Amino acid sequence: MHDIADLERRGVVGVFLASEVFAEAARAQGAALGFPAPHVLVPHPVQDRTDAELREVAERVHPAVVAAVTAAPPGAAGDDRTRRSGG
């Protein structure tokens, strides 16, 4: 979380992926850092999934990752969900 907050402050767009069971901890850490980091949650557990299962999860969350990376940062002027990627 510290890394993504630092990168965002430097203008590098990012999003973090986390297992659903860590959602509240991630939100709390983001709040403590003063940074509501864009995130996408994936089903838990992750570590014991097969390659095929991980591909399936990745395909399911891909649209959410793209949306999070291209959305306006929280609190941006107008916060009209303009693209952060520049186009």
Per-residue pLDDT of the chain (87 residues; tens, 9 = 90+): 888 888 888 888 888 899 999 999 988 988 898 888 788 999 999 999 999 999 999 999 999 999 999 987 666 654 444 334 443
Domain ranges of the chain: 2-70
Q: Which two tokens mark 84?
A: 């952060």
18 φ, ψ to 5°?
A: -145, 150
3-class secondary structure, 56: helix
**pLDDT at residue 86 in the model:** 42
Name residue 69's amino acid: V
Closest CA to 5 of 39, 33, 41, 40: 33
Cβ atoms of residues 65 and 15 within 8 Å:
yes
